[in-house]
């Protein structure tokens, strides 16, 4: 990973293997960066799969095929290509994906629809079929690797490997969830974020896994933004091998279903935060909490309007408590708001209440808060019970430096 490690980075956690999951990495050479760039994950027969995908209408063939194939509910393999997004590449891009699916399916002995492929990198360059074929051949015979190797291999402009885990007790059995993700820029997922993969040994029906993943996504991945740009390749997939031996979960009333749902959302939230902490050029992690909205969804939209504002983000980068920019962002969000009921604060200190500055407002504690790395912005609309928290990072010169020469 060529860029300096983010000051907001978190160490990669110790994560145990998941029964029925085998990880391998190889060099396909999609870019000349001297490291592995192809990740191959083989999954036990009968593994359940669920997924959420980008809503960008110019999505890649990988997304189109994944969205169609996830409906059949089973997976035997995952392939992730780093260095080439293979998006906006027409029939040549689709042929490359179908070639990978067929090559892996023939090796495992499954239908190609059970092989999921993701690609990330430069848009508009077809994935080289010769490099993909050779990369898959190398991956199929490579020695199994660990989670951190796989997390590093799926990265592009990421500055640190990102992983998360959680456990839950389901029907008297302890089940484990482990996950890796890549993402640093082009982050405003209207569904998920970049490329994320969750693996569990829990036995769970595909349809119920899809329900829980979609619900977790709405409160985690769909509540983050780095730069307001939604990628053509965003994908989050969850794979459940059933190796823990618990009685299969298939409904909300099943013993342990609530515990598993909580663990899944915890892992998704951890991953979402890690992506923001690796936002391109980021120096500060920002939580925007909106309360008093007419609904939770309205609160989320107001929060994203604040989090996506370049003026708010640059003010935070400059450690400037310019709460007037938050007022502006609330007003342009397109959601119900009343100027005369609006309250705004930073780090637990209110700067304005009920539509006007506080007469005894002391900026000193706010200034001290903004000098830290973890920043909170609080907004109370004063209209209802709706509430949401979204997460973003500041906007610095580093973001420009990284993206001005992304293809070089």
User: Hey, which residues are catalytic here?
Assistant: 193
Q: Which residue has the tokens 């969000």?
A: 333
What distance in Å separates the CA atoms of residue 227 and residue 272, rounded to the nearest whole number?
Answer: 14
Structure tokens at 395: 């906007």
Bridge partners (DSSP) of residue 375 are 286
Integer angstrom CA distances of residue 151 from 7, 38, 40, 62, 219: 19, 11, 12, 19, 23
Question: In b/e form, how buried is each residue of 24-38, taking b as 16+ CB within 10 angstroms?
Answer: bbbbbbbeeeeebbb
Which residues lie across from 74 on neighbouring strands? Answer: 48
Closest CA to 183 of 172, 191, 173, 175: 191
Sign of the CA dihedral running 191, 197, 203, 205: positive
Distance CA 366, CA 355 (A): 19
Closest CA to 176 of 207, 195, 155, 203: 203
Report the alpha-carbon distance of residue 351 to residue 289 in Å, rounded: 15
Q: In Å, what is the CA distance from 331 to each residue of 99, 142, 304, 339, 350?
A: 50, 55, 12, 8, 18
Neighbours of 327 (CB within 10 A): 18
């Amino acid at each position: 990973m060529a860029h300096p490690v983010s000051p907001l980075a978190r160490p990669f956690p110790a994560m145990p293997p998941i029964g029925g999951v085998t990880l391998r990495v190889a060099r396909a050479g999609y870019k000349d960066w001297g490291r592995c760039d192809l990740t191959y994950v083989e999954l036990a027969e009968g593994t359940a799969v669920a997924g959420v995908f980008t809503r960008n209408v110019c999505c890649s063939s990988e997304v189109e095929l994944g969205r169609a194939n996830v409906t059949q509910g089973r997976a035997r393999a995952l392939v992730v290509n780093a260095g080439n997004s293979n998006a906006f590449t027409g029939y040549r891009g689709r042929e490359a994906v179908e070639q990978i699916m067929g090559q892996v399916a023939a090796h495992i002995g499954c239908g190609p629809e059970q092989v999921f492929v993701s690609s990330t990198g430069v848009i508009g360059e077809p994935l080289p079929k010769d490099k993909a074929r050779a990369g898959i051949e190398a991956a199929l015979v490579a020695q199994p690797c660990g989670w951190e190797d796989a997390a590093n291999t799926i990265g592009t402009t990421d500055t640190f490997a990102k992983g998360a885990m959680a456990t839950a007790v389901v029907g008297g059995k302890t089940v484990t969830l482990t996950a890796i993700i890549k993402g640093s820029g082009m982050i405003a997922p209207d569904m998920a974020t970049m490329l994320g993969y969750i693996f569990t040994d829990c036995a769970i029906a595909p349809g119920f896994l899809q329900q829980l993943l979609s619900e977790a996504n709405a409160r985690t991945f769909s509540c983050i933004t780095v730069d307001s740009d939604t990628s053509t390749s965003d994908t989050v997939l969850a794979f459940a091998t059933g190796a823990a031996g618990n009685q299969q979960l298939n409904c909300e009333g099943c013993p342990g279903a609530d515990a598993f749902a909580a663990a899944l959302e915890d892992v998704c939230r951890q991953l979402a935060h890690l992506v923001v902490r690796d936002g391109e050029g980021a120096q500060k992690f920002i939580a925007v909490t909106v309360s008093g909205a007419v609904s939770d969804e309205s609160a989320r939209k107001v929060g994203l309007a604040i989090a996506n504002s370049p003026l708010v983000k640059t003010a935070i980068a400059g450690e400037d408590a310019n709460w007037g920019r938050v007022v502006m962002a609330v007003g342009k969000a397109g959601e119900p708001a009343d100027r005369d009921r609006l309250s705004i604060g930073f780090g637990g200190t209110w700067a304005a209440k009920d539509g006007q500055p506080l007469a005894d407002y002391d900026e000193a504690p706010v200034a001290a808060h903004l000098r830290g790395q973890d920043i909170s912005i609080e907004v109370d609309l004063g209209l209802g019970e709706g509430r949401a928290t979204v997460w973003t990072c500041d906007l610095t010169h580093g973001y420009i430096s990284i993206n001005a020469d992304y293809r070089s």
